[in-house]
Amino acid sequence: MSETLALVGAGVMGQTLLGGLLRAGRDPGSVVVVDRRSGRGEELHERFGVRVVDDVTETAAAATVVLAVKPQDMGDLLDSLAGHLAPDALVVSLAAGITTAFCEARLRPGTAVVRVMPNTPSLVDEGMAGLAPGSSCSEEDLALAEQLLRSCGRTAVLAEKHLDAVTALSGSGPAYVFYVVEAMVEAGVLLGLPRATATELVVQTVVGAGAMLRETGQHPTVLREQVTSPAGTTAAALRQLDESGVRAAMVSAVEAAWTRSRQLSGS
Which pLDDT score is estimated for 37?
A: 77
Would you tell me the crossing angle of helices 173-190 and 246-265 to the nearest 10 degrees? 150
65, 3 in Cβ contact below 8 A? no
Confidence at residue 42, expressed as pLDDT on a 0 to 100 scale: 83
For every one of its 267 residues, what pLDDT tens digit does the chain have, with 9 covering 90 and above? 347 999 999 888 999 999 999 999 999 999 999 987 766 778 888 899 999 998 888 888 899 999 999 999 999 999 999 989 988 999 999 998 899 999 999 999 999 999 999 999 999 999 999 999 999 999 999 999 999 999 999 999 999 999 999 999 999 999 999 999 999 999 999 999 999 999 999 999 999 999 999 999 999 999 999 999 999 999 999 999 999 999 999 999 999 999 999 888 776
Q: In the beta sheet, which residues pair with residue 113?
A: 91
pTM score over 0.85: yes
Domain with CATH 3.40.50.720 in the chain: 5-160
Handedness of CA 223, 227, 228, 233 (dihedral sign): negative
> Is 5-160 a domain of CATH 3.40.640.10?
no
Q: How many whole angstroms separate alpha carbon 32 and alpha carbon 93? A: 16
The CA-based angle 90-94-98, given to 5 degrees, is 95
The highest-level CATH class for domain 173-265 is mainly alpha
Where, residue-wise, is CATH 1.10.3730.10 in the chain?
173-265
Measured torsion, CA atoms of residues 93, 94, 98, 101, in degrees rounded to the nearest 10 = 20
Is 234:241 a contact under the CB 8 Å cutoff? no
- Cα 14 to Cα 95, 165, 248: the distances in Å are 10, 22, 35
Distance CA(177)–CA(128), nearest Å, equals 14
pLDDT, tens only, 55-105 = 888 888 899 999 999 999 999 999 999 989 988 999 999 998 899 999 999
How high is the pLDDT of residue 2?
46
